[in-house]
Structure 1
Amino acid sequence: MSPPALSNAVSSALIQWPREPRDALGLALWDAAAIAAATGGTASGDFQCAGVEMDSRDVRPGDLFVALKGEAMDGHRFVETAFARGAAAALVERPVAGPHVLVADTTAALHALAAAARDRASAVRIAVTGSVGKTGVKEAIFAALDRASRGQAHRSVRSYNNHVGVPLSLARMPARARFGVFEMGMNHAGELAALAQQVRPQVAVVTTIAPAHIENLGSEEAIADAKAEVFGGLMPGGTAIIPADSPHCERLCAHARAAGAKIVLFGRAAHADVRLLDAIPAANGGSLVTADMGDTRLCYSVAEPGEHWIANSLAVMAAVRAAGGDLAAAGLALGEMGGLKGRGARHRITAPGGHALLIDESYNANPASMRATLHQLGQTPATRRVAVLGSMKELGDFAPRFHAQLAEPLAEARVDYAILVGEEMRALASALGKGAAGALAGGLSFAHCDNPAEAIAALAEYGLTGGDAVLVKGSNSVGLGRLVAHFAGAV
């Protein structure tokens, strides 16, 4: 074909390329007129924004900086810093020297902007909550849908899952997005109901129910009720995805039925709609999973190690199918996912005799996730196993019992040395030092430290050698990320 003929053929193909309504949407995330219309504010002039940010330290060129006012901090103090970092405009309650939209209340304006972002996009919205695993499941669902839609999926970043993070994540959703995946967390009853009403998801996933935040809620049953609030925000005809193996399955299903949701169960149980048929270890440390989806069977790899990730993968598959996504793309995404910072990232550390493995689970901890990750440590090939465990927070009066009960999973994991960090870990130290518990732990050697600096010194004194495997896990407020950074470098 001659060059002119080739050019004509290409032009003809481009002309015939199917157009969709979203093709007429603007490419900018927000412009001044759209922000003003959404918030009822007054724009100082024309501008366009590529992102939305509430922390001046995280502002990137082109962002809209939202000057939120809290009890202890006023974002208006940092407007100049935001502009210096490249903010295109600010959302403010008083005029500033720079492009801005003036509103009566910036918090209310952020919520209004979030609602406008939700309503202008035709994206299928997926909400993810649960006591354990919600961030990882959220990331996996996003990876699957982003792959299938060629980059037209959106999700909440980090753990932006509260009354500020969820509307911020919504406000960041492009008008052209095909999918939106939003993590939702809570500490008290009623919080998830409000978040779900903001997102109005078509799909809602509960990963699992465990005694996280039991200090505020009092029982696992109350936790299940609070997590089930997410179903109340479902759009008509929406889907509730529920763990079939949970002892609270029927309780969750009752809430979903009351909300008029379609129910999809996932897990090992015979009554699960997405049911695990088989899982065998894979060469990379993950698993090869076979699942029954009712009308089809799937076989796929999960890169992340651990029994909990096998269950997580079933929830991901259920959510992707409910959202109208591509199951093959989901399988590929699960096979390629790496551990997240603070949530399973693995680091090879140079040590005498070779390399040691450091598993970074420093971002969060509760009794269920502690047991799961200790079990995985026990399955990890190693010459010696070391557990650096930080206190589990928000357990209230249950804290001493739940911490002391970690003696058993420590023994089952065949841990050689434990470093216990934080006041709440004194209960585990006491259990390990007593007769029955000490025998159960096989005479496990341990040290109790008050803070991460002492833990760093204790691990340095113990001395890592080639072949060691080190698990670092605790609630984020304990600060064990400092220990990870010290031994694994800047992460």
Structure 2
Amino acid sequence: MPIAKLARHPLLKAWPQDVRDALPLALWSSDAIAAACGGTASAEFEAAGVEMDSRDVRPGDLFVALKGESMDGHRFLEAAFAKGAVAAIVDRPVDYPHVLVADTTAALHALAHAARERSEAVRIAVTGSVGKTGVKEAIFACLDRASRGAAHRSVRSYNNHVGVPLSLARLPARARFGVFEMGMNHAGEIAPLTGHVRPHIALITTIAPAHIENLGSLEAIADEKAQIFTGLMPGGTAIIPADSDWADRMVRHAEVTGAKVITFGRKAGADVRLLDAIPVQGGGSLITADLGDIRLCYTIAEPGEHWIVNSLGVIAAVRAAGGDLASAGLALAELGGLKGRGQRHVLKVAGGTALLIDESYNANPASMRATLKALAQTPAQRRVAVLGSMKELGDFSEGFHRQLAEPLGDAGVTHAILVGEEMRALAAELGKGLGNSLGKPISFAHCQGADEAIAALAEFGLGHGDAVLVKGSNSVGLGKLVARLTQGA
């Protein structure tokens, strides 16, 4: 058919129009950046991405030369352009295409706010003591599948005072959904982050003693996490874990903002309530949930009871955002573990294969218990746990580490490798000869660092059918052990 005649075909003429079709394909143009930041562009250009770390720059990126107390991004301009940056935001004239501003940090914030204002995307903010990265990724997967690639999210754990504005600045004008993770170490850190994003939906995964050294109590942690509701858009939705001891406290925080409150969990009366969870082959679960007006049945690929409840929060967020629940169910069934947060590897060992569960990125008392419980449900000849210290627990540290003896025993762990000074308390507890679920004492080794742990695990020797869990605070460096194990896996 001739092209002229094809263009007049009734089906093409009736093709649905979308206002986003008129928006630019490039993430940012030089004019748009200059207008947003109040700066001056040295040349015309278009950028496909925004980056602040020269090591992560990809061709087509805009490099933001941020300045900190001990670091100046302007020192890395040459490296950024060598990797393919098309331009930079700078506070001094340079010999590269750039936008000149007075303050590069303020410019990044302005660019983030401009991205927010130009987009009609539904914005979802996620925080919590445990599980926020996994829940963020799950919500993104559900919405990205439903929108056929029109969803955006924070990458990795870009959840702080720099990462959140950077993630927001990367929000494409054509996006239909944006999912942003928010973290904190001290009081007063969540409110500025939610103020940047101004979410339509804000979700708290759970409250646990992460960063309790700085906050002082679980009540204070709940109060700080609930500050995510202060940034909600008018008419926004607050999603709260009904099973939390501090659920009512968080609900009160949300109600002060005028938000619509949705609760999720096992508790009777939860708006998204678990009715049934049946284990499925491969470690996941078949979930039946009551959403009030409908019941939903779906499968989650991720193992562990914590993911059963997490999935209810994901479903609540997807529904509040106007996403498709059928697509969400398919996405949850295919969701894989993240590097350092549940990713599973099959290792070649003497006589066959062993399973490695990589939880090396983060750890606190609640997540330790959850992953040990998941380990208990993992079929294995022997279960081995490599546990690194849990940081930022302050005066509570010794008690929380010592209390891991019980979940270790319940998980049927045969051998434990304990890494870090804080783990000395758990080593002392295991030294009393406490038995595991099979009634046998748990053998253990206490190491100071990742290198010693690698040697200790090699000395123990993994065999066919073993399952080994690696979990600890990121600063302990157990990612090095995972990397060593997975080389050639």
* TM norm structure 1: 0.97
Match of 1:410 among 385, 408, 411: 408
Rounded to whole Å, the distance in 2 between the matches of 1:306 and 1:189 is: 30
1:62 aligns with 2:60: yes
Deviation at 1:353, TM superposition (A): 1.8
Q: Determine the structure 1 residue equivalent to 2:391.
A: 393
Deviation at 1:11, TM superposition (A): 3.9
Rounded to whole Å, the distance in 1 between the matches of 2:313 and 2:86 is: 39
Rounded to whole Å, the distance in 1 between the matches of 2:101 and 2:2 is: 56
Q: Deviations over 1:344-377 (max 9, x none)?
A: 0000001112110000000000000000000111
Q: Secondary structure at the match of 2:358?
A: strand
The question of whether the paired residues in 2 share the 8 Å contact of 1:49 and 1:64 is answered with yes
Q: Deviations over 1:88-145 (max 9, x none)?
A: 0000011111100000100000000000000000000000000000000000000000
Match runs of 1:208-227 below 5 Å: 208-227=206-225
Rounded to whole Å, the distance in 2 between the matches of 1:44 and 1:9 is: 41
Rounded to whole Å, the distance in 2 between the matches of 1:106 and 1:126 is: 26
The question of whether the paired residues in 2 share the 8 Å contact of 1:267 and 1:314 is answered with yes
Match of 1:87 among 85, 88, 95: 85
Match of 1:466 among 460, 464, 467: 464
Rounded to whole Å, the distance in 1 between the matches of 2:473 and 2:488 is: 20
Q: Percent identity?
A: 74
Change (3 A) 1:381 1:110: same
Q: Determine the structure 2 residue equivalent to 1:484.
A: 482
Match of 2:147 among 135, 146, 149: 149
Match of 2:233 among 232, 235, 242: 235
1:323 aligns with 2:326: no
Q: Determine the structure 2 residue equivalent to 1:72.
A: 70
Match runs of 1:364-383 below 5 Å: 364-383=362-381
1:354 aligns with 2:361: no
Deviation at 1:438, TM superposition (A): 6.4
Q: Determine the structure 2 residue equivalent to 1:251.
A: 249
Q: Determine the structure 2 residue equivalent to 1:312.
A: 310
The question of whether the paired residues in 1 share the 8 Å contact of 2:410 and 2:436 is answered with no
The question of whether the paired residues in 2 share the 8 Å contact of 1:385 and 1:414 is answered with yes
The question of whether the paired residues in 2 share the 8 Å contact of 1:365 and 1:473 is answered with yes
User: Gapped runs of 5+ residues in structure 1?
Assistant: none
Q: Determine the structure 2 residue equivalent to 1:191.
A: 189
Deviation at 1:284, TM superposition (A): 2.0
Match runs of 1:108-127 below 5 Å: 108-127=106-125
Q: Structure 2 counterpart of 1:212, which letter?
A: A
Q: Secondary structure at the match of 2:167?
A: helix
Change (3 A) 1:5 1:190: closer
Change (3 A) 1:357 1:26: same
Q: Determine the structure 2 residue equivalent to 1:180.
A: 178
Deviation at 1:149, TM superposition (A): 0.6
Match of 1:134 among 109, 120, 132: 132
The question of whether the paired residues in 1 share the 8 Å contact of 2:412 and 2:436 is answered with no
Rounded to whole Å, the distance in 2 between the matches of 1:79 and 1:447 is: 46
The question of whether the paired residues in 1 share the 8 Å contact of 2:383 and 2:415 is answered with yes
Change (3 A) 1:99 1:4: closer
Rounded to whole Å, the distance in 2 between the matches of 1:372 and 1:395 is: 18
The question of whether the paired residues in 2 share the 8 Å contact of 1:290 and 1:297 is answered with yes
Match of 1:263 among 256, 261, 264: 261
Q: Deviations over 1:48-73 (max 9, x none)?
A: 00000000000000000000001111
Q: Determine the structure 2 residue equivalent to 1:433.
A: 431
Q: Secondary structure at the match of 2:268?
A: coil
Q: Secondary structure at the match of 2:322?
A: coil
Rounded to whole Å, the distance in 2 between the matches of 1:338 and 1:6 is: 47
Q: Structure 2 counterpart of 1:207, which letter?
A: T
The question of whether the paired residues in 1 share the 8 Å contact of 2:120 and 2:176 is answered with yes
Q: Deviations over 1:132-184 (max 9, x none)?
A: 00000000000000011110000000000000000000000000100000000
Q: Secondary structure at the match of 2:112?
A: helix
Q: Structure 2 counterpart of 1:302, which letter?
A: I
Deviation at 1:190, TM superposition (A): 1.1
Deviation at 1:285, TM superposition (A): 1.3
Q: Determine the structure 2 residue equivalent to 1:276.
A: 274
Q: Structure 1 counterpart of 2:324, which letter?
A: D
Q: Determine the structure 2 residue equivalent to 1:443.
A: 441
The question of whether the paired residues in 1 share the 8 Å contact of 2:409 and 2:436 is answered with no
Rounded to whole Å, the distance in 2 between the matches of 1:58 and 1:4 is: 47
State the aligned residue count: 488
Q: Structure 2 counterpart of 1:48, which letter?
A: E
Rounded to whole Å, the distance in 1 between the matches of 2:440 and 2:123 is: 49
Deviation at 1:439, TM superposition (A): 8.5
Deviation at 1:21, TM superposition (A): 1.9
The question of whether the paired residues in 2 share the 8 Å contact of 1:411 and 1:442 is answered with no
Rounded to whole Å, the distance in 2 between the matches of 1:189 and 1:238 is: 23
Match of 2:158 among 138, 157, 160: 160
Deviation at 1:442, TM superposition (A): 4.2
* TM norm structure 2: 0.98
Q: Structure 1 counterpart of 2:136, which letter?
A: K
Q: Structure 1 counterpart of 2:260, which letter?
A: K
Rounded to whole Å, the distance in 2 between the matches of 1:367 and 1:255 is: 25
Deviation at 1:434, TM superposition (A): 2.8
The question of whether the paired residues in 2 share the 8 Å contact of 1:431 and 1:438 is answered with no
Q: Structure 2 counterpart of 1:446, which letter?
A: F
Q: Secondary structure at the match of 2:383?
A: strand
Match of 1:45 among 22, 40, 43: 43
Rounded to whole Å, the distance in 2 between the matches of 1:65 and 1:149 is: 29
The question of whether the paired residues in 1 share the 8 Å contact of 2:409 and 2:435 is answered with no
The question of whether the paired residues in 2 share the 8 Å contact of 1:452 and 1:478 is answered with yes
